């Protein structure tokens, strides 16, 4: 019996959108689902109880950061990442295949793995399929990710091809060393912005015995239309009976378009990052709490929201806190944004279950500002 299973509950009659349920050793959650990001074993500014209260059934953490600090061996000694950070529900760790490639000049890619310098102290480090997989086994999340290369945009064809083929070889090496009784592993499809490479990667990666499949290398600076085109093309080549995860996507517009193309899971730092920049997410776009117009606005951030921040506090108050550089402002905006996305995803799911996702998509675009 696989550790991670995907249950298809309903496919929308109007689009490719699917409603499902994913089962893990730390509980089940409905899909489509957005995973809040807890990069350094914390969803920034929030307690696990506060994250759970937003309805999130799974969060993501990063191997890259925890590998460098405090070290995955220490977290293993603490009883694993769930125990260390006291998050009782499902968890996924990214492999480091994205963070390490964002380091630019500080890294060197070889067939055996990636040599890089720590962003913390400049020390020499090495991550490979084997090292990243063992680190993720130490962390013990419910879902580990294969070690891949996220191809930058733009990339020339020859580079993208070499990289995509290396990602497949790395995926096989990850599976060879991965053995954990309570952890599944997802493969990652790359291919840059080239259809034939996406097809090749989808074919090669989905032929391997992973528990689910992610689409990587998107939302890396390309125009949205190009991302949607690549996504459309890729999801059609993925199996129906496994989870599909679009990495690094978390704005409402991209979530709607991802779900329309059959994606089940998403993650992004966006809701918590923009919260710390004074932004509240709304279904029409973003509200910038710094704006003068909210100085005497005694209404909640979002009249439709029932989160802790919206139940208790006004725009004027949160604006004041933000202006005064009070930490509570970051907390309230983060609670709201994560809660907003959980509610947003539940709305998408209900539309799928009622075969009206296409209508939902049209109504969404009619009121989306940017």
Which spans of this chain sit near ligand GUN (rule: CB under 6 A)? 94-95, 97-98, 145, 148, 150, 188, 216-217, 247-248
Rounded Cα distance between 307 and 274, Å, is 17
User: Is 306 an active-site residue?
Assistant: no
Q: Which stretch binds Zn ion (CB under 5 A): 45-53, 146-154, 303-311, 352-360?
A: 303-311
Q: Report in angstroms how near the CB of residue 177 gets to ligand GUN at its nearest.
A: 17
Q: Report in angstroms how near the CB of residue 206 gets to ligand GUN at its nearest.
A: 16
Q: Which of 30, 94, 211, 302 is catalytic?
A: 94
Q: Could you list the residues known to form a binding site, using ranges.
A: 94-98, 148, 190, 217, 305, 307, 310, 336
Partner in contact with 148, chosen from Zn ion, ligand GUN, none, beta carbon below 5 to 8 Å by kind = ligand GUN
Residue with Cβ nearer Zn ion (18 or 336): 336
Strands 184-189 and 107-109: unpaired
Residue with Cβ nearer ligand GUN (50 or 267): 267
Question: Which residue has its beta carbon closest to ligand GUN?
Answer: 216
Q: Report in angstroms how near the CB of residue 313 gets to Zn ion at its nearest.
A: 9
Rounded Cα distance between 34 and 270, Å, is 11
Structure tokens at 336: 């709201």
Which residue from 163, 164, 92, 96 is spatially nearest to 129, judged by alpha carbons?
96
Residue with Cβ nearer ligand GUN (247 or 310): 247
User: Is 355 an active-site residue?
Assistant: no
Partner in contact with 305, chosen from ligand GUN, Zn ion, none, beta carbon below 5 to 8 Å by kind = Zn ion
Q: Report in angstroms how near the CB of residue 336 gets to Zn ion at its nearest.
A: 4
Residue with Cβ nearer ligand GUN (192 or 262): 192
Rounded Cα distance between 89 and 252, Å, is 24
Strand-pairing partners, residue 31, are 20
DSSP E strand stretches across the chain: 5-11, 18-24, 27-31, 33-35, 58-62, 90-94, 107-109, 114-117, 124-127, 143-145, 184-189, 212-215, 243-246, 265-267, 279-282, 285-288
Q: Could you list the residues known to form a binding site for Zn(2+), using ranges.
A: 305, 307, 310, 336
Give CA angle at 194 (216, 264), nearest 5°. 35
User: Please, which residues have CB within 8 angstroms of residue 32's CB and are 6 or more apart in sequence?
Assistant: 17, 18, 19, 255, 258, 259, 263, 264, 265, 266, 345, 348, 349, 352
Number of other residues whose CB lies within 10 A of the CB of residue 239: 13
Q: Which stretch binds Zn ion (CB under 5 A): 33-41, 172-180, 216-224, 296-304?
A: 296-304
Rounded Cα distance between 4 and 210, Å, is 10
Partner in contact with 310, chosen from ligand GUN, Zn ion, none, beta carbon below 5 to 8 Å by kind = Zn ion
Residue with Cβ nearer ligand GUN (19 or 145): 145
> Which residues does the annotation mark as catalytic?
94, 267
Give the interface with Zn ion as residue ranges (CB under 5 A). 302, 305, 307, 309-310, 336
């Amino acid at each position: 019996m696989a550790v991670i299973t995907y249950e298809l509950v309903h496919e929308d009659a109007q689009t490719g959108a699917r409603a499902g349920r994913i089962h893990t050793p730390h509980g089940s959650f409905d899909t489509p689902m957005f995973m809040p990001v807890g990069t350094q074993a914390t969803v920034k500014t929030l307690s696990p109880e506060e994250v759970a209260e937003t309805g999130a059934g799974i969060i993501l953490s990063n191997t890259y950061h925890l590998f460098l600090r405090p070290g995955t061996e220490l977290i293993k000694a603490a009883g694993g990442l769930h125990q260390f950070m006291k998050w009782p529900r499902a968890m996924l760790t990214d492999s480091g295949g994205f963070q390490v490639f964002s380091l630019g000049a500080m890294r060197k890619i070889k067939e055996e793995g990636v040599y890089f310098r720590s962003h913390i102290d400049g020390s020499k480090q090495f991550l490979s399929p084997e090292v990243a997989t063992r680190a993720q086994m130490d962390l013990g999340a419910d879902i580990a990710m294969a070690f891949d290369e996220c191809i930058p945009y733009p990339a020339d064809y020859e580079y993208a091809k070499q990289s995509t083929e290396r990602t497949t070889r790395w995926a096989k090496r990850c599976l060879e060393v991965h053995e954990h009784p309570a952890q599944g592993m997802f493969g990652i499809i790359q291919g840059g912005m080239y259809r034939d490479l996406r097809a090749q990667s989808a074919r090669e990666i989905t032929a391997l015995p992973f528990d689910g499949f992610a689409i990587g290398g998107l939302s890396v600076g390309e125009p949205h239309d190009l991302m949607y085109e690549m996504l459309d093309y890729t999801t059609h080549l993925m199996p129906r009976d496994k989870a599909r995860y679009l990495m690094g996507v978390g704005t409402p517009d991209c979530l709607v378009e991802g779900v329309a193309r059959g994606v089940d899971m998403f993650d992004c730092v966006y809701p918590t990052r923009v919260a710390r920049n004074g932004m509240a997410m709304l279904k029409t776009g973003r509200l910038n709490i710094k704006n003068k117009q909210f100085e005497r606005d005694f209404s909640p951030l979002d009249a439709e929201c029932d989160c802790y921040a919206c139940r208790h506090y006004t725009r004027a108050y949160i604006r004041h806190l933000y202006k005064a550089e009070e930490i509570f402002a970051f907390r309230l905006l983060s609670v709201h944004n994560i809660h907003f996305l959980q509610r947003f995803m539940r709305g998408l799911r209900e539309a799928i279950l009622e075969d009206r996702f296409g209508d939902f998509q049209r109504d969404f675009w009619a009121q989306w500002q940017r």
